A and B are shown apart, each in its own frame.
Chain A
Amino acid sequence: MNPAVAARGMARRFGAVQALSGLTFEVAEGSLFGMVGPDGAGKTTAIRALAGLIDLDEGEARVLGRPPSEARESIGLLPQQYSLYRDLTVGENLRFFARLYLLPREVHARRARRLLEATGLAPFEDRRAEALSGGMYKKLALACALLHEPRVLLLDEPTSGVDPLSRRELWTLLREFARGGMAVVLSTPYMDEAERCTHVGLMHEGRLLLSGEPRALLADVRADVCEVDGAPRPQIENALAGVAEVWSSAPAGSRLRLLLAPGAAAQVAATLRPIGAALRPVAPRFEDLFIARLREAA
């Protein structure tokens, strides 16, 4: 069976910038695939290619086995910059998009009702779009992109600038869509969101550094991740200065979080003992994974 979405060796250059260089992945129906990576990693270009909005220099994008331009009616797209009619109400915006998609009135009414309930926008149906909070405005845009019931939903950084509560709600919605059989592909610069996807690809310089199920990826970090406390943080940092096995360190509240070369925990613990600081292993996060893989690649 065809995957719902496929990126096969996608490459695209803009002037001197190689935005995509051999991006490859497949997304099955019912999956929520997250492209996670920093600004400039090629995420927006990838989404645009999958939506059929730009041409590729090499490789191909496929949606339900077809070129995206031939699968338009199956694609829902939420770009980073999207426009709703700010002076129209929530309900009027939905009606406008329904007409754009040539939906019969009763079909529109039924779907709009369901989407308003799902997004929690029902109480605000008569509110003008410009008076919505950032999170609600985004949910309205999402509802408009879903009116034609696409089988594939593409979202470019849907959670940027959205507060943690609205973000949590948005993720719950997206997971429900995936559970209902939709293939959801989204991009995010936030590593901590990787764990919320069913499948994740870490983007770096136009391709995937690695991909798979979040749990499996985190189980294979190939580094020791620890937190240190028991001494003031600057003192800990001084004691560890120049220790080659410390790949990276970051404050975690009053503690210090360390990414260590595999097997180096015992040695680092010994280095810290004289100042009274102790090391305890903690669960790795995607940021640790990203840094560890970049170290390996270097």
Chain B
Amino acid sequence: MNGFAIEAEELSRSFGDFCAVDRVSFRIENGEIFGFLGANGAGKSTTIRMLTGLLDATAGAARIAGHDVRADRQQVKSLIGYMSQRFSLYLDLPAWENVLFFGRAYGLSRPQVRERGSQLFAATGLTGLEDTATSTLPGGTRQRLALACALLHRPRVVFLDEPTAGVDPIARRWFWRLIRSLAAEGTTAFVTTHYLDEAEYCDRIGLMAEGRLVALDTPEALKRRYAPAGGGEATLEDVFVAVAGR
């Protein structure tokens, strides 16, 4: 097995004449927190759908932990988790029922779900909230529940889609501390967001524009590279506008 958690190699996808993703290549280390940014329509979603095996590439390859996404679809499915704070939970179910649901979806046995679920509830501060209706949980708590559900099957790579949108700053910091400790244990986080302060939490950032990967570096290096001519530090928004600007 090679050392990378996620690899994209000249990954491309066309829809008719339109090239949504154009020869995108990157390698993401185990335990890395990778931020994936770009304007609406820049090819982010298409790339993620290819990385997660939901959409076939028209050219190039994607690998998760060395497994080709197309050839080893089942294997890849067991290696990845997906979390979106706004959409991924059943709000009318109690918190624990969500865990049972996702556990079954990932093919875990009942005892496995119970064991791993309780562990994750403890780690994410959810213990005691098992029977609470998900709809009544505050945003930050709901978000940790969504994360716990995405981690039940111990994925090597977790895809986080705008993970802290709408969450208060204290809950948000707690959430990122969790992600960081997961990363320290070797789990890789692939984060998409429109919010550039969220990108500050990432080890490296990839920026998409018109289907191409146009920048790939640490937040510091990007801010240095696009520093204003008069001195001072660029913000990530300045970087974004400079790189993805029309």
Do residues A39 and B167 form an inter-chain contact, with CB atoms below 8 A?
yes
Q: How far is the CA of A40 from the CA of B165 in the complex (A)?
A: 12
Does A166 contact B39, Cβ atoms closer than 8 Å? Answer: yes
Chain B nearest CB from A82 CB (Å) reads 17
List which A245-268 residues lie within 8 A (CB) of chain B: 248-254
CA distance A135 to B200 in the complex (A): 23
Among B39, B169, B176, which residue has its beta carbon within 8 angstroms of that of A165? B39
Q: Residue on B with the closest CB to A190?
A: B195
Which residues of A sit under 8 angstroms from B196, Cβ to Cβ? 164, 192
Listed by A's residue number, 26 A-B pairs whose Cβ atoms lie within 8 Å are A38-B140, A38-B166, A38-B168, A41-B168, A133-B39, A133-B41, A135-B40, A160-B165, A160-B166, A162-B194, A164-B39, A164-B241, A165-B241, A166-B39, A167-B194, A189-B166, A190-B195, A191-B169, A192-B196, A248-B170, A250-B176, A251-B176, A251-B180, A251-B200, A253-B219, A253-B223
**Residues on A with beta carbons closer than 8 Å to the beta carbon of B170:** 248, 291, 294
Do the beta carbons of B165 and A166 come within 8 Å of each other? no
* B40 with A134: CB separation less than 8 A: yes
Give residues 176-231 of A contacting B (CB, 8 Å). 189-192, 204
Interface band, chain A: 35 or more
Q: Which residues of B contact A (CB under 8 A)?
A: 38-42, 136, 138-140, 162, 165-171, 173, 176, 180, 184, 194-197, 200-201, 218-220, 223, 237, 240-241, 244-246
Q: How far is the CB of B141 from chain A (nearest CB, A)?
A: 10
Shortest Cβ gap from A230 to chain B (Å): 14
A161 at the interface (CB under 8 A from B): yes
Which 8 interchain pairs have the tightest Cβ spacing? A38-B168, A39-B166, A253-B219, A39-B139, A189-B166, A134-B40, A163-B39, A287-B169
Docked-complex contact B220 and A253, CB < 8 angstroms: yes
B40 in contact with A250 (CB, 8 Å): no
Contact yes or no, A163 B201, CB < 8 A: no
Task: Please state if B194 and A249 are interface contacts (CB–CB under 8 Å).
Answer: no
CB distance from B201 to the nearest CB of A (A): 5
**1/0 per residue A36-59: CB within 8 Å of B?**
011111000000000000000000
**Given A39-B167, A164-B194, A253-B220, 15 additional A-B pairs, CB 8 A:** A38-B139, A163-B42, A164-B39, A164-B240, A165-B241, A167-B194, A248-B169, A248-B173, A250-B176, A251-B180, A251-B201, A253-B223, A254-B219, A254-B220, A290-B168
Question: Who on chain A is nearest to B237 by CB?
Answer: A164
Main secondary structure of the interface of A (DSSP, over half): mixed
The interface bits of chain A over 140-174 (1 if a CB of B lies within 8 angstroms of the residue's CB, else 0) are 00000000000000000000111111111000000
| In the complex, chain B residues whose CB is within 8 Å of the CB of A252 | 200
**Which residues of the partner chain A approach B218 to less than 8 Å between Cβ atoms?**
253-254
Chain A, residue nearest B220 (CB): A253
Query: Does A249 contact B200, Cβ atoms closer than 8 Å?
Result: no
* Cβ contact within 8 Å between A166 and B40: yes
Inter-chain CA distance A244–B3, complex, in Å, is 40
Chain A residue at minimum C-beta to C-beta distance from B168: A38
Q: Given contacts A39-B139, A163-B194, is CB(A250)–CB(B241) below 8 Å?
A: no
A163 touches B173 (CB 8 A): no
Per-residue interface assignment for chain A, residues 14 to 38, with 1 indicating a CB less than 8 Å from any chain B CB and 0 otherwise: 0011000000000000000000011
Alpha-carbon distance A249/B176, docked complex (angstroms): 11
Closest Cβ–Cβ distance, residue B185 to chain A (whole Å): 13
Across the interface, which residues of A come within 8 angstroms of B237, CB to CB? 164, 168
Q: Looking at B200, B218, B223, which has the most chain A CB atoms within 10 Å of its CB?
A: B200
Q: Considering only CB atoms, which chain B residue lies closest to A168 in the complex? A: B241
- CB-defined contacts of A38 to chain B, threshold 8 Å: 139-140, 166-169, 171
Q: For the complex formed, measure the closest distance between the CB of B136 and the CB atoms of chain A, giving whole angstroms.
A: 8
Contacts of B38 in A (CB 8 A): 163
Contacts of A133 in B (CB 8 A): 39-41
Residues of B with C-beta under 8 A to A16: 136
- List residues of chain B with CB within 8 A of the CB of A161: 162, 194
CB distance from A291 to the nearest CB of B (A): 5
CA of A16 to CA of B195 in the docked complex: distance in angstroms?
Answer: 32
Contact across chains for A291 and B169 when beta carbons are under 8 A apart: yes
